[in-house]
Amino acid sequence: MRIGLNLENSQAAKAGLVFAELQRVAGEQYGHEVVNVGMLSENDHHLTYIHLGIQAGLLLNSKAVDFMVTGCGTGQGSLMSYNAHPGVVCGYCLDPADAFLYSQINNGNAVSIPFAKGWGWAAELNLRYIFEKLFDGPRGEGYPKERAVPQQTNARILGQVKVGLAKDYLEGLKALDQELVKQAVGHPDFQKVFFAHAQDQALVAYVKELLGQ
């Protein structure tokens, strides 16, 4: 599985620590590929939580990545920004129990974590244990086990509801302020991952045109 990470400007100073913990757990411990798509420092290509959602929508819908990890000060802005996009099902994780329950019951393709609110002593350990519960073993098996079948059914139905209510994704992107989208895709790390792995050629062509390539 390829797992992407993006943080917005207010929490960029923590990006190195977050990436290291994600790589330690998802990469080294569980053998997944971990990639950053911005930001990695406060001086990096500027992104708000709105840009993060655009990046995630493009990466997940094009299958350039399989899962996204994101966050902002409270985790709420990035959560809402992610879930505004078709094809993105983002959960909210404060602790390892949240991560386990989200993984087993909701089985989405992204999580948002608060990186300012509640961030204190041993925060890196809490983050490490969140990643362990997210990426340890099979997902979507339900909890408790006797509720597994209806939980799996409801997660599948929710996905169908989102597909049914969403407009054509490419047309939706074109309806946005194109400078907003251009800023989101302007990060070199995003471009590296997207152009190397995106499987939807219509989305690739759109991003290239937007960047003047």
Where along the chain do its domains lie? 2-211
Percent of the chain with pLDDT over 90: 88
Does domain 2-211 fall under CATH 3.40.1400.10? My reply is yes
Tell me how long the chain is: 213
Residue-wise pLDDT for 24-53, tens only, equals 999 999 999 999 999 999 899 999 999 999
pLDDT of residue 145: 86
Residue-wise pLDDT for 102-120, tens only, equals 999 999 999 999 999 999 9
pLDDT of residue 120: 93
Residue 118 in tokens: 């509640």
pLDDT of residue 28: 97
Task: Read off the pTM.
Answer: 0.95
pLDDT of residue 163: 83
Sequential DSSP letters for 74-143: SSHHHHHHHHTSTT--EEE-SSHHHHHHIIIII--SEEEEESSTT--TTHHHHHHHHHHHHHSS-----S
What string of pLDDT tens digits covers the 213 residues of the chain?
999 999 999 999 999 999 999 999 999 999 999 999 999 998 999 999 999 999 999 999 999 999 999 999 999 999 999 999 999 999 999 999 999 999 999 999 999 999 999 999 999 999 999 999 999 988 999 899 899 899 999 988 988 888 888 889 999 999 999 999 999 999 999 999 999 999 999 999 999 999 999
pLDDT of residue 137: 83
Is residue 45 helix, strand or coil? coil
pLDDT of residue 79: 98
Q: At what angle do helices 49-61 and 188-197 cross, to 10 degrees?
A: 10
